[in-house]
Structure 1
Amino acid sequence: MSEPSRYYAAACQTDLPCLRDRSELPSRVDTLLAMVDRAVVAYRPVFDVKLLVFPEFAHAAPIYETVEELADRLAVEIPNELTDRYVAKARQHGVWIQTGTFLEVDRRWPGQVFNTTCLIGPDGILSRYRKVNPWLPWELHASPLDLPGYGEPLFPVVETEIGRLGAAICYDWLFPEAIRALGQGGAEVLIRVSAYMDPWGATPPMDWWTLFNRVRAIENFAFVVASNQGASATNFPPFSWPGGSMVVDFDGRILAQADPGPGEKIVVAPIDLGALRAERSRREGHHMLNHLREGLHFSPPSLPFKNPGLRSPR
């Protein structure tokens, strides 16, 4: 398959009740895979949708008060039969899916629960990102940065047929160092998997959601595809979730955005890799990746310019 220079990305936001038990996960995945079908098939006459992004907590939210309860009732190991279904769907349509987050357990790290999203393509699971900055003090998830001997890439960037993709989850995006690690790793499309609540969401007067998505795009000279939780306070108490899922280009222009407010929505916009690569090649001014003085600024630990997570599935 040749690499497309231009394709469309779909930011898919959900408005679904919190799950109470992992036995409900298969039906939840049914719903999310149906959204994939709708986004790809319904838009096909107009848009060639190749990348689909789902929000944080699309599968399960940390509704219990202890790690032990989360591990016992909601967390899963990865890979599993659910991720296998995503692989089959990606292969069916020839697309790449950034899953909504799973609560994940890993036998190598007993007693820990991770907040995890996977990039899945026709060839399988291409990367696994575990949230590095839990939203303290509410989230009980482990940060891989705090685990001695943790050897997996903290900020993986994957080379795919639709460009170099890197993801981070929600609160991570408030730390410029985290997203810069993806930029330094070569990411051309920055993916945000998020559950951003009011009053910081996509509505004035604060609207941190739009602010940070646009700034991170400019800082890292990359597209941003950001899917936000669109659940009502009834479905995801105690907060209300304003949605506003969006796609931003490398100059911070909003290409598409869902109207703020709860509700299931899909927004679609173009990812023009040809334009991005041409601008990265020719631009002398406002090229923050090239102009960064690495010896002067703080750099996250163990993150050389060529991120060890950058690899090709081909």
Structure 2
Amino acid sequence: MNTTHAIDPRLSSRYTSFDEVPVIDIGSLVDGSDIEKVAQEIGRTCATVGFFYIRNHGVPRSLIDAAYSQAQAFFNLPFEEKNRINITNSGPTLRGYIPTFAENVDPEKSRDFKECFDLGLDETHVAPFFGPNLMPERPVDFKPVLERYHSEMLLLARKLISAIALSLNLPADYFAKLQQHPITVQRLLHYPAQEGEVREEEIGIGAHTDYGFLTILAQDANGGLQVQNKEGEWISAPPIENTFVVNIGDLVQTFTNDLYKSTVHRVINTSGQARYSLPFFIDMDYDAVVDVLQNCTSEDNPARYTPYTSGQHKFRRYVNSYAHLKGTQVA
């Protein structure tokens, strides 16, 4: 396969050093032996970068491999078969298959050259971001594997969120009280190989911040993730074996009055091969009020945000990204 590409100068990046996107060993958070140490490391990183790798996270390698295998098998199905469970068939639940170019996170600048599958907690009650998953008939192990993966990600996310709370001198369960029934999305992503000239108008995923509270990303060995630093430079965040990439989202930036930043990032797949990744997103409860924390304000640093609800914010971002939701009123 020809892997030579002409790269749009607007897409250039430099290779990261790991002090820019640091690697944090969270083993003592997972086993409870030194939660405070990890919390302080995470806090420092959220205040400077907003992105970090985690190792010793406790999620079995066998489960991660199984999730990748199921994702690849699903995306290799004929388009007609995948499209039977198109996200447009899920109503307000917003689950299922998302074809190439159906979601564009930076629609003023680029089209997203990717296809996705979204699932969450499978429930009978239907509401925005909640309800039954649309599951494919093939591969046969898709449902049990991905539901188990979602469960593991939720457990890990709750540990990381407790550390973020502690880093802000809050009780460990501060945010958990606003996440009794949180919006969660386990996404599967397939970025086809891009050949020829790669231009900003069509890349894997356009520049964006994540809508929610926290993202945990498994990325394959092909790379392509780029993060924008405080100077506005794009730096590559390459895969590191046996780690996840974690980043905070818009909700954390609001809660902390910009002390912790929701970092802009994008994906450009110039590896010459298909790229797969597994991002897990967790927000707050749909009706949870997102408001600036008192201990993140002062007389010289007043609140920069007015309160809003988690679900309204997420739905507004979806309306901006999905063609089939254009014109939909935010609930």
Tell me the TM-score normalized by structure 1. Answer: 0.30
Q: So what's the TM-score if we normalise by structure 2?
A: 0.29
